[in-house]
Structure 1
């Protein structure tokens, strides 16, 4: 058997997309190249991996069993590359962090990093469309801190750092702020101001909708729109503590969550095969040790 890692990657990608053409587009190869590679893999293994009769390319029973084995091999290869990277002693001159959570929650590890590596420059990017994983996949960021997503690509690793509260709020003069109880029908009747990167991507966000919707690519823009009374929005509570304390913004008492806050996980994300130097590895470990939390409405810390 002389199959390659490229063939295994193509095999798992066709299996996940259900299409030779879709896999080819993601790999930036021709469909014929992917088809030939899979055919050669089948010849090497002596097995038929895909049923090729209909529009979709479905796995045969043998292909279904070998898919998990192939994914395990690829996972181990990524671990090998990551381990090799960790053995290096290079201190990189600069690092890029992609951060979509409130920066105040990350100040302790960033202060420690500044003291430990005073000559390493740090660039912080706030993804306009909320896709930290995409920046990591393209190699445009070394590490990412983002609200948890239901799934990540196989080549990304992640570790949960904690949880933050997302609050549904409106200006004190907004009609929704006058209601003692707010249900989803009430929300739908008023303009929604939404962070474009999270529209229907976070858990339970599919219930938050409205017939009229304005999208913005930053929390700062949403905050200003909400303070003007143009609609209701959902923001990290850490960003609006002063507005809540002054009464300028009011948390909406949703009937669906009468006794709990909307907790969303915060993940540290990295590309498994990306080469991190000494400073990057140190920061990755320090961020992994740092716990993100806040106090809920009952005075308790949010926990993992």
Structure 2
């Protein structure tokens, strides 16, 4: 029987997600009569997307789904130069809601694309990876085995370095970097890795509380890379840890079957607090005697990014 629920901090929305959502809502509020399109999910959370759809904001997969001259916002995950050029050619008004930390990785890629060979540590097909890899020629690796597979493809005639997706597992990425160094001892290490502060801090929060709980419940969408990583991290120590997306997925039988008395809850960087509140309320409807509190020693995420003064660019 569930007795205690601990909430991790930090959890949920990160500064980049807040930035992207605020960007879209501000543009919409300032241009209420103008049809507004967002390319891809603004963040990887269906609840956020559905709330925006209710306001009349339209989501598209590609620019071809919007008319020439339309107002389109790029999602938090960023886009490749090819997409930007397509927007220019179609005379679109563009708002770039890319997370500033992702933009920083794009900038690094542009700065070294002519001087270095680049290995990109990321997940094939993820929106962020697609956008970043559009900036320069790169070798994508997801595992240590992928690094070994680059033997014969990378030579010593040109310096080698690496970039990484911002939402990766800190521990797994460290192992991949060590493998790169082992296979390519001439690699140049960046001054700072690209994993964002929010991903790191949320993973650290789970690591700190994992010994005090029987399992972790991660709130986040299946296409949210950082949510999936949080769940994988928890499952390495507490195998009965799991991930859900909505309150409808709350399963008291999972808790009873696995003898979970102390449950830790965290949320991916694109999961709103309202989802956490709904899921906790649903858990309490099944286990009304359970207590809910912040995990001792936890702290708030206080970072924020300011919106630009000029939010739309006419191409």
Normalising by structure 1, report the TM-score.
Answer: 0.27
Q: Of the two, which has the highest radius of gyration?
A: 1
Normalising by structure 2, report the TM-score.
Answer: 0.27
Q: Work out which structure has the larger RCO, using CA pairs closer than 8 Å and 6 or more positions apart in sequence.
A: 2
